[in-house]
Structure 1
Amino acid sequence: MFLMFQKITLPLLVIFMTASLYMIFQYAPKEKIMGDVQRIFYFHMGYVLVFTFAFTMNLIHSIRFLRTNNKLNLKLAYIHAEIGVVFTLLTLVSGMIWAKPVWGTWWTTDPQLTTTLILFILYLTYLFFHKLSEKAGVPRYSSIFAIIAFIDLPIVYISVRVMRGISPVVFGGKGGGIAPEMMDTLLVTMGAFFFLYIYLINLRVRLDKT
């Protein structure tokens, strides 16, 4: 569905990513408590945005395949899962880099961290299971697995609000919030990563056709 945007995606990606990098390192103020390490938060949220879109599209294409048996949907579901797995890993790594100086540890059993790790494992398993089910001639099983795996995605978002943990609530938190300059930077960065996501999907589809 993103192929129609491929001609304008790269210019928009360059514009937004350039603006994002400038705002992250020059415009956004230093966080009073965490200092410069907080700047990784903007990249971290961009990674989260990408895997959220990717796994949602994986779900949509998996359902479409089950309904239509169109192999294109099966292929697109796999491609979106690939992108999602990469950016879930980047989310975990960037979270660990942020956690060490802030929490004093690389890892903790925080509900959001744990559910994100489970999400990564589920979709990594999906990638292997997809290949196995195709070889076995039963690709529908991988689509069913994708639908089950998606259940963890809303749990990742809900966990930070419902379960008591130490992960910060960026949107909708009580008594918190971030400076206007930080919010501006976050929104531009998320725009940049949205265009990066579209660009990577289009690139991956083109590579699959060669």
Structure 2
Amino acid sequence: MIQTTIGQNERRDRRGVNLLGYTALAGILVALYAVFFYAPREAMMGEVQRIFYFHVPSAYIAFLAFAVVFVSSVQYLRTRDAGWDARAHASAEIGVVFCTIALVTGSIWAKPIWGAWWTWDPRLTTTLVLWLIYVSYLMLRRALDEPERRARFAAVVGIIGFVDVPLVFMSIRWWRTIHPVVFNADSIDVDGQMMVALVVSLAAFTILYLYLLKLRVGLERLQIRVEALQRARW
């Protein structure tokens, strides 16, 4: 009876993941249409401005992913539930991928606009620091074999590392910077069709993140089971 219930739950979870995957694919296709065919060509920057529709959502997903790492790490230290550690690990991996995309697309945009692939602008520097923190988080997890010790140390790094997220967000407001400000305190510096394309891209990237998170958490739970069986054997 218990095995039947577990099997039904797993099939239901698999259907949910598949549905999210199809939704994410549809969202990405709609976003690509909005970016390349619906949004107009920007008058000053030209076609290179279209990178903006990938750069901003990637940065947003990185912040969201690291926020999930923070919450999951706090919950793990509070409950010692391995499920929270699995969520933190999965979200950190996804966050690093999207943070990498944000850094790369930002550099591609910067070369024709600023004349350089990279400048030590406060926004860029704090984002690079954020990337390094969570790469270190993943390296720490790889270096420790004992599951509880690994989860505990990683949770501490995940919590401390999140401090940099508000620094990245506020850097263009606290320090002199050449980085463009899209979302001002009083207004949003995006008009009409461009705003529609941005919102569609943000929605599509969010659904993609949720799909990847559920997929990766499922794999992480399987890994936890394998490790438990290996420990029981020994």
Q: TM-score, normalised by structure 2?
A: 0.83
Match of residue 200 from structure 2: 188
Match of residue 175 from structure 2: 163
- 2:50 equivalent among 25, 32, 39: 39
Match of residue 14 from structure 1: 25
Match of residue 162 from structure 2: 150
Q: Which residues of 2 match residues 123-138 of structure 1 at below 5 A?
A: 123-135=134-146, 138=149
Alignment CA distance shift 1:176-1:131 (3 Å) = closer
Q: Which residues of 2 match residues 66-81 of structure 1 at below 5 A?
A: 66-81=77-92
Code of the aligned partner of 1:73: W
- 1:65 equivalent among 51, 58, 76: 76
- The Cα shift of 1:186 comes to 0.2
Q: Find the residue that maps to 2:45 and give its secondary structure.
A: coil
- The Cα shift of 1:175 comes to 8.0
Q: Which moved more, 1:42-51 or 1:91-100?
A: 42-51
Match of residue 203 from structure 1: 215
Query: Which structure's CA Rg is the greater one?
Result: 2
Q: Which runs of 4+ in 1 moved over 4 A?
A: 173-176
- The Cα shift of 1:134 comes to 4.5
Q: Which moved more, 1:94-103 or 1:6-15?
A: 6-15
Question: Identical aligned pairs, as a percentage?
Answer: 40
- The Cα shift of 1:11 comes to 3.1
Per-residue CA distance 1:53-91 (angstroms, 9 max, x = gap): 110111111001100111121122111101101111111
Contact 1:123 1:146 in 2 (8 A): yes
Code of the aligned partner of 1:124: V
Given the alignment of the two structures, is residue 141 of structure 1 paired with residue 153 of structure 2, yes or no?
A: yes
Contact 1:133 1:141 in 2 (8 A): no
- The Cα shift of 1:31 comes to 0.9
Given the alignment of the two structures, is residue 105 of structure 1 paired with residue 116 of structure 2, yes or no?
A: yes
Structure 2: runs of 5 or more not aligned: 1-12, 224-234
Q: For 1:161 and 1:169, how far apart are their aligned partners in 2?
A: 9
Alignment CA distance shift 1:164-1:198 (3 Å) = same
Per-residue CA distance 1:172-205 (angstroms, 9 max, x = gap): 1678712211001000000000011011112212
Structure 1: runs of 5 or more not aligned: none
Contact 2:54 2:201 in 1 (8 A): yes
Q: TM-score, normalised by structure 1?
A: 0.92
Per-residue CA distance 1:92-113 (angstroms, 9 max, x = gap): 0000000000000000011100
Q: For 2:154 and 2:33, how far apart are their aligned partners in 1?
A: 42
Code of the aligned partner of 2:178: I
Contact 1:47 1:193 in 2 (8 A): yes
Contact 2:36 2:50 in 1 (8 A): yes
Residue correspondences, number: 208
Alignment CA distance shift 1:15-1:87 (3 Å) = same
Contact 1:92 1:117 in 2 (8 A): yes
Match of residue 3 from structure 2: none
Contact 2:86 2:217 in 1 (8 A): no
